[in-house]
Chain A
Amino acid sequence: MQPDDKVLIELYTTMLTIRRFEERLVREVSAGNIPGFVHSYIGQEAIAAGVCRHLRRRDRIVSHHRGHGHCIAKGADLKRMMAEIYGKKTGYCKGKGGSMHIADFSVGMLGADGIVGAGLPISTGAAFAAQLEGKGDIAAVFFGDGACNEGEFHEALNLAGIWKLPLLFVCENNQYGVNTPAAYAMAAGEISRIPKAHNIPARVIFGNDVEEVYRAAGAAVAGIRKGEGPFFLECRTYRWHKHFLSQQLEDLRPAGELEEWKRKCPVAAMEKKLRNRGVLSPAKLRAIDEKIMRQVDAAHDFALSSPYPQPQDALHDVYSS
């Protein structure tokens, strides 16, 4: 499934939107303007963009700590995201969730989970729901290599395997759980061996090439919709920032690695392709970027000008009514 020019432009636009949104957060966190923990998605944008382009609104996704990219790619609103990250009343969760817990059930984003791997069993439930509804909808779950050593990961694979759930596992292998290398922490060596042991077909792809992600996810999603059961995509990638943005947290990854991966920047690579193939002129590329910058600025203005919740709002929403 080769993306046509229209799709290529959409993929690029989604990636660049994530990039600009996240760059703004890096700036604001450094300036001390945002409370709490922000996990930057910079470097991994091609995965969210390439996978979510194949998902319908009714398809449901589950994410983890590093979830902004998945929210954006699934169609969440930048303003309400930014407001949530600032803890404002107008945010998606009325300021009760923050960066790590953005959810938009109206677009099928069932939330970012702050417990490593714990969104996996929830995604099996979302996939089970799609199976029961029988309308050809699917679920997708995004997680990192660190999650693959959690018991819940193995349990979710097993359940998806025995029930043939319409579920796409998207492992964003950025090679480190905080600072612990996957190569150290995982006896299986190759992540993709684990789903295969559960009779779930798996593919390893280069997660920084959005066309490759798009093609692989397209084939996987088509099979899942046809009732072929779960599929596992391992996307090799690298995060540009520390596990979360913080002065205190150390980055113990080997020197030079980041520079090497920056040369494989998914956004820059795509921009170059679009230019070289004549899909977008430099002027058009600039126009897309400027439009996105205006959207991010507008989201930021919206967040800053929004009110905080009333302190006593802390007592509401423990239960839904």
Chain B
Amino acid sequence: MRKITYDQAANEAIQEEFRKNPRCVHLSTDLAADLTEEFGTERVRVTPIAENSFVGTAIGLAGSGFRAVVNLRMATFGFVALDQIMNHAAKLTYMFGGQAKLPVLIRMTVGAGFSGGAQHSISPYSMFMNVPGLKILLPTTPYDVKGLLKTALVDPNPVISFEPFLLGRSEGEVPEEEYFLPFGKAAVRKRGSDVTVVALGRMAHVALEAAVELEGKISTEVIDPRTLVPLDRQAILRSVRKTGRLVVVDEACRTCSAASEIVALASSDRTTFARLKAAPARVCGLDVPIPFSPPLEKYVLPDRAKIVKAIRAVMRRPSA
């Protein structure tokens, strides 16, 4: 099968849906060259750097029978548009009793590990999970990003796609023929029987490396949820009931994180709790802004060694 990059796969999803649906409009700061060339500057608009205005515009377009794709670039810039995302995109359908359809796809990159410093590095998806009304994607492979964005582009609701910055140029197999991936369906990246590792974003890849490193000693199951809202709770619970051990890995800060939610999910489910052999563990970013200097940044982020250590630790703990 052909291999393309994550960014190319995402772009293909948009191109395919824009060809099918002439009411799709793209908004972003700076030029989206491929899209502009094919679809013209009417439908592919360059915006001033004024995030609330163009996210609000996307919502107004969507409320007027169009479908809008907004590329905010980085999640830190997305914070500038929080009024429109949190108070409007997330709530208007509900506030208006379901009469408003708001098909808006908002894309932004997340993650750290590239010396971007605190204002260009963050993984804030748990903040958005706490505001009902948004569907939240966290695709980690070219195959997934294409299939999930394709689905987002036919969904009648606001969808946020958090795309790990460092995965943009990663390559993977993507079929030529059209496909859609459902929301709320996790991918099991590796089967295992001793411990369940739920890994988010870029950490899905790092956790897989850790699992491979431990092969022969510890049988690790690696689950990538792929979408956070809806979250494939059953896939996580099924796996933890089988292994009795849970490690959640994410580069977002630990406090009130998606990882916290996944640990709470497993430990508050009676059947799953009864089968736990060790306390669930989180391997997350430390609770500091992301520092610039490489050794500082490395220290605050999860990596393979930290994941291996956490997996070994849950294996050592005595039965509950």
Residue of A nearest to B25 (CB): A132
Tell me whether A75 is interfacial, beta carbon within 8 Å: no
Tell me whether A319 is interfacial, beta carbon within 8 Å: yes
Tell me whether B56 is interfacial, beta carbon within 8 Å: yes
Interface string of B33-69 (1 = CB under 8 A from A): 0000000001101011010111111111111111010
- The answer to whether B88 touches A118 (Cβ under 8 A) is yes
| Cα–Cα, bound, A132→B60 (Å) | 13
Tell me whether B315 is interfacial, beta carbon within 8 Å: no
Which residues on the B side are within 8 Å of A316 (C-beta)? Answer: 98
- The answer to whether A118 touches B133 (Cβ under 8 A) is no
Residue of A nearest to B63 (CB): A110
A151-B52 in contact given A111-B92, A321-B156 (Cβ < 8 Å)? yes
Tell me whether B21 is interfacial, beta carbon within 8 Å: no
- The answer to whether A125 touches B59 (Cβ under 8 A) is yes
- The answer to whether B132 touches A318 (Cβ under 8 A) is yes
- The answer to whether A110 touches B97 (Cβ under 8 A) is no
A94-B60 in contact given A132-B25, A132-B42 (Cβ < 8 Å)? no
Residue of B42, B65, B101 touching A320 (CB-CB under 8 A): B101
- The answer to whether B48 touches A62 (Cβ under 8 A) is no
Which residues on the B side are within 8 Å of A163 (C-beta)? Answer: 45
Which residues on the A side are within 8 Å of B54 (C-beta)? Answer: 121, 159
Interface string of A109-129 (1 = CB under 8 A from B): 011010100101111111111
Tell me whether B83 is interfacial, beta carbon within 8 Å: yes
- The answer to whether B96 touches A125 (Cβ under 8 A) is no
- The answer to whether B64 touches A317 (Cβ under 8 A) is no
Which residues on the B side are within 8 Å of A55 (C-beta)? Answer: none
Tell me whether B157 is interfacial, beta carbon within 8 Å: yes
Residue of B48, B68, B93 touching A319 (CB-CB under 8 A): B93
Q: Interface size class for chain B?
A: 35 or more
- The answer to whether A129 touches B96 (Cβ under 8 A) is no
- The answer to whether A320 touches B93 (Cβ under 8 A) is yes
Interface string of B116-159 (1 = CB under 8 A from A): 00000000000000001101000000000000000000001100
Tell me whether A149 is interfacial, beta carbon within 8 Å: no
Tell me whether A289 is interfacial, beta carbon within 8 Å: no
A126-B56 in contact given A118-B87, A320-B156 (Cβ < 8 Å)? no
Tell me whether A130 is interfacial, beta carbon within 8 Å: yes
Residue of A nearest to B62 (CB): A125
- The answer to whether B157 touches A132 (Cβ under 8 A) is no
Residue of A nearest to B43 (CB): A132
Query: What's the minimum C-beta distance from A103 to chain B, rounded to whole angstroms?
Result: 4
Which residues on the A side are within 8 Å of B62 (C-beta)? Answer: 125
Tell me whether B84 is interfacial, beta carbon within 8 Å: yes
- The answer to whether A103 touches B61 (Cβ under 8 A) is no
- The answer to whether B57 touches A121 (Cβ under 8 A) is yes
| Cα–Cα, bound, A202→B63 (Å) | 27
Residue of A96, A115, A125, A156 touching B64 (CB-CB under 8 A): A125
Tell me whether A158 is interfacial, beta carbon within 8 Å: yes
Tell me whether A219 is interfacial, beta carbon within 8 Å: no
- The answer to whether B63 touches A91 (Cβ under 8 A) is no
Q: Among A94, A118, A125, find the residue whose CB has the most chain B CB atoms closer than 10 A.
A: A125
Which residues on the A side are within 8 Å of B96 (C-beta)? Answer: 92-93, 96-97, 101, 103, 105, 111
Tell me whether A152 is interfacial, beta carbon within 8 Å: yes
Q: Among B58, B64, B100, find the residue whose CB has the most chain A CB atoms closer than 10 A.
A: B64
Residue of B nearest to A320 (CB): B101
Which residues on the B side are within 8 Å of A317 (C-beta)? Answer: 93-94, 97-98
| Cα–Cα, bound, A125→B94 (Å) | 20
| Cα–Cα, bound, A127→B25 (Å) | 14
| Cα–Cα, bound, A158→B48 (Å) | 8
- State which residues 126-177 of A face B: CB under 8 Å: 126-130, 132, 139, 151-152, 155-156, 158-159, 162-163
Residue of A nearest to B101 (CB): A320
| Cα–Cα, bound, A60→B66 (Å) | 14
Which residues on the B side are within 8 Å of A96 (C-beta)? Answer: 94-97
Residue of B nearest to A122 (CB): B60
| Cα–Cα, bound, A97→B102 (Å) | 17
Which residues on the B side are within 8 Å of A92 (C-beta)? Answer: 96-97, 99
- The answer to whether B52 touches A125 (Cβ under 8 A) is no
- The answer to whether A121 touches B66 (Cβ under 8 A) is no
Q: Among B45, B96, B98, B101, find the residue whose CB has the most chain A CB atoms closer than 10 A.
A: B96
Residue of B nearest to A94 (CB): B97
Query: What's the minimum C-beta distance from B5 to chain A, rounded to whole angstroms?
Result: 31
Interface string of B5-46 (1 = CB under 8 A from A): 000000000000000000001000000000000000011010
- The answer to whether B95 touches A111 (Cβ under 8 A) is yes
Residue of A nearest to B86 (CB): A115
Which residues on the B side are within 8 Å of A139 (C-beta)? Answer: 60
- State which residues 294-321 of A face B: CB under 8 Å: 316-321
- The answer to whether A103 touches B99 (Cβ under 8 A) is yes
Which residues on the B side are within 8 Å of A151 (C-beta)? Answer: 52
Query: What's the minimum C-beta distance from B260 to chain A, rounded to whole angstroms?
Result: 22
Which residues on the A side are within 8 Å of B64 (C-beta)? Answer: 60, 110, 125-126, 129-130
**Closest A-B pairs by Cβ, 8 of them:** A125-B60, A121-B56, A129-B64, A155-B53, A93-B97, A317-B98, A94-B97, A125-B57
Seed contacts A128-B45, A318-B133; 16 additional CB < 8 Å A-B pairs? A60-B63, A92-B99, A96-B94, A105-B63, A120-B56, A128-B60, A132-B43, A139-B60, A152-B52, A152-B53, A155-B52, A158-B50, A158-B53, A159-B47, A159-B57, A317-B98
* Chain A contact residues, CB within 8 Å of chain B: 60, 62, 91-97, 101, 103-105, 110-111, 113, 115, 118, 120-130, 132, 139, 151-152, 155-156, 158-159, 162-163, 316-321
Return 24 A-B CB contacts under 8 Å, by A number. Answer: A92-B99, A96-B96, A97-B95, A97-B97, A101-B96, A103-B95, A103-B96, A104-B99, A105-B96, A111-B63, A115-B87, A121-B57, A122-B60, A124-B56, A127-B60, A129-B61, A129-B64, A155-B52, A158-B48, A159-B54, A317-B94, A318-B94, A319-B93, A319-B133
